[in-house]
Amino acid sequence: MQQHQRRDVQDWLNLFDQQKQSGLTAVAFCRQQQINVQTYYTRRRDIRLQRTNSKFVQVKREVTKVESYTEEMGGDLLLKLGNAELTVPTTTNPHWVAAVMKVLAE
């Protein structure tokens, strides 16, 4: 009975390169190297997925606290972002306010 060889990721990467450079199909290369074809394809898929996933980084988004209030008599809206303050009438178009806040946050 033939003993199966355990290969690490680098061993598999080397085999994938050898197969590519040999000009043989994966099936022919596996036969030549006495590698189970299904194992070859499975490891290639798994390693590709691992390498693709490792390119992602986790990004933490900081939430800026925005406080606003309106005075019953004045009807002004006070927006604070960091050290910046903006007072606008409550009748101001909210899309304009959102655009200004977006620019200020950049």
Pair (38, 74) in one structural domain: no
Pair (19, 41) in one structural domain: yes
pLDDT tens column, 15-64: 999 999 999 999 999 999 999 999 999 999 888 887 776 555 566 667 66
- Which of 56 and 89 is assigned the larger pLDDT? 89
SS3 category, 88: strand
Q: What is the CA radius of gyration of the chain?
A: 30
Pair (73, 100) in one structural domain: yes
Pair (44, 74) in one structural domain: no
Pair (43, 74) in one structural domain: no
Rounded to whole angstroms, how far apart are CA atoms 47 and 45?
6
Structure-block tokens of residue 72: 């019953």
Within a domain: residue 1? no
Pair (15, 40) in one structural domain: yes
Domain count across the chain = 2
pLDDT at 49: 80
DSSP-derived secondary structure letter, 77: E
SS3 category, 96: helix
Pair (81, 39) in one structural domain: no
pLDDT tens column, 2-19: 556 788 889 999 999 999
Structure-block tokens of residue 105: 């946050």
Q: Give the residue numbers spanning the domain of 45.
A: 9-53
Within a domain: residue 79? yes
Pair (40, 71) in one structural domain: no
> Bridge-partner residues for 80, per DSSP?
85
Rounded to whole angstroms, how far apart are CA atoms 90 and 77?
6
Which pLDDT band, with edges at 50, 70 and 90, does 1 fall under?
A: very low
Q: 70: closest CA among 61, 81, 79, 62?
A: 79
Within a domain: residue 81? yes
